[in-house]
Structure 1
Amino acid sequence: METTQAKLKKPEAMIFDMDGTLFKTETLLIPAYHELFDRLREEKLYVGDTPPEELMLSCLGMLLEDIWRKVIPDCSEAVHRRADELLLELELAGLKQYATELYPGVKETLEQLRDRGVRLFVASNGLEHYVKGVAETHLISPLFEAVYSAGEYLTASKVDLVRLLMDNHGISSAWMVGDRSSDVEAGKKNGQTVIGCAYAGFGQGQELAGSDILITTFNELPGLYDRSESLE
């Protein structure tokens, strides 16, 4: 249930983060992550133990270049770029191999929102083929008007990505729905409402500070929408 009693305005669109919001990322990322470091060791690009899974999970929502600076800070940029290539390769293969999952009720909730006339979008800091691959594998791609990724649009921040999405699609009123501080920042700096998803459990306790509403299950969104006030 929502934990803040903010008065919400009915949006014309909802913009969703992917990892930790729609997609249960660890169901794909953890096996791919371990394979990635096996490959880096085979290629003599990395020595030593694989960094803790928790470190990688704590970086979800960041741009990949920032993730590797935190996870393998002592490696060169060339190794970081090779890690980009391997992670994408392994995650795309993993979408076919592993039993990956969306969060409970995601597809049904998106369908309910679309049936109410809400325009649906994705804005993710991930790589293009990964973000679109997750949506296609889990059969939610047709529900979105567009899927935006930092990998495709080469944006420096999620603030820029969301601004570009809103400009390109003529959106003035939206809810930014996500689980990380980058989502809160992207919504607020673009003058929009932020719905913080408090169910993924990644990051620190203050990750969603500044959200207008916190939800603990994805399927709360249609009720929030129905109770929100129509824009004058």
Structure 2
Amino acid sequence: MIRGGKVLQATFEKPDAMIFDLDGTLFQTETLLLPAYHAMFDTLRAEGLYKGETPPESLILGSLGMLLEHIWQRVMPDVDPAVHRRADSLLLDYQLEGLRQGDGRMYDSVADTLSRLRSQGVRLFVASNGLEPYVKGVVEHKGLAPLFEGLYSAGEFQTRSKVDLVRMLMDTYDVRSAWMVGDRSSDVEAGLKNGLTVIGCDYAGFRKEGELEGAHAILSHFEELAALIK
């Protein structure tokens, strides 16, 4: 738990399941996102849908964890919503193409740590605010699909918040106890409002000050996760 600006680390009983955010938690998002982001704006300009310079990378990186419609409201606030929908399509296409070409990296020790947890009987899930083809594409192209029991995305289930997405996942798979593992305030909220132990991830560098307030423990490296089990 974060109290008075200090992180108090503890260990916890092994849960039935762990539910992971994707971007900034398992996947080093910028390694795939930023080339696709620039290609997307090049195409929008070529199609006459956007004028001016590409917005700073910091705008989209700082928006990770939000629903796409909210991301574009921050990145391109003054364009027609139809341009936002075109941006959805283009960004997804460029990211999937990047994955097919081998672009994008998982954080260090993700595969080994997830395999270790699975071998200990922990059920593994993803809950992401991203689009379904992107979420499933990352996990599949990086060879991690066999480790996960379910991959849930806001894009697939049209949920308005990660709280709802996680609750749906838990109900569907009859999850009795779980840890919510993620790097954004939406992950903390989703965990706490569903009665879960929340593990904050503080290595992506995208979060705002205080964003992980309320997390029960904080990771500086993903491989620290397994050591939190009693």
1:215 aligns with 2:219: yes
TM-score, normalised via structure 2 length? 0.95
CA contact (8 A) 1:198 1:214 kept: yes
Determine helix, strand or coil for the equivalent of 2:225: helix
* Contact 2:139–2:145 (8 Å) recurs in 1: yes
User: Quick check: 1:28–1:98 contact (8 Å CA) kept in 2?
Assistant: no
* Residues 3, 215 of structure 1: 8 Å contact kept: no
| Per-residue deviation, residues 146-173 of structure 1 (Å, max 9, x unmatched) | 0000000110000000000000000121
- Whether the 8 Å CA contact 2:11–2:228 is kept in 1: the answer is no
Task: Give, as a single letter, the amino acid of the residue that structure 2 aligns with 1:124.
Answer: S
Between the two proteins, the alignment pairs up a number of residues equal to 225
| Counterparts of residues 180-199 of structure 1 (less than 5 Å) | 180-199=184-203
Percent identity, please: 62
In structure 1, which of residues 35, 49, 54 is the aligned counterpart of residue 53 of structure 2? Answer: 49
Give 1:48 deviation, angstroms. Answer: 0.1
Residue aligning to 1:59: 63
Give RMSD over aligned pairs.
Answer: 1.2
Q: CA separation in 2, counterparts of 1:4 and 1:102? A: 27
Tell me, yes or no, if structure 1 residue 24 matches structure 2 residue 28.
Answer: yes
* Alignment map for 1:103-122 (pairs within 5 Å): 103-122=107-126
Picking from 158, 173, 176, the partner of 1:172 is: 176
Q: For residue 46 of structure 1, what is the amino acid of its counterpart? A: Y
Match for residue 87 of structure 1 among 81, 87, 91 = 91
| Secondary structure of the corresponding residue to residue 147 of structure 1 | strand
Aligned residue number for residue 3 of structure 2: none
Conservation of the 8 A alpha-carbon contact between 2:10 and 2:228 = no
Confirm whether residue 72 of structure 1 aligns to residue 52 of structure 2.
no
Deviates more, 1:183-192 or 1:97-106: 97-106
Any stretches of 5+ residues in structure 2 without a counterpart? 1-5
Query: Does structure 2 conserve the Cα–Cα contact (< 8 Å) formed by 1:32 and 1:87?
Result: yes
Whether contact under 8 Å (1:175, 1:194) holds in the other structure is yes
Is 1:102 aligned to residue 106 of structure 2?
A: yes
Q: Given the superposition, is the C-alpha separation of residues 189 and 88 from structure 1 closer, same or farther in structure 2, using an over 3 Å criterion? A: same
Give, in whole Å, the separation in 1 of the partners of 2:117 and 2:102. Answer: 29
Instruction: Determine the structure 2 residue equivalent to 1:130.
Output: 134
Matched AA of 1:159 = V
> Which letter maps to 1:125?
N
Question: Which amino acid in structure 1 is aligned with residue 120 of structure 2?
Answer: R
Unaligned runs of 5+ residues in structure 1 are 228-232
In 2, the alpha carbon distance for the partners of 1:201 and 1:38 equals 26
TM-score w.r.t. structure 1 length? Answer: 0.95
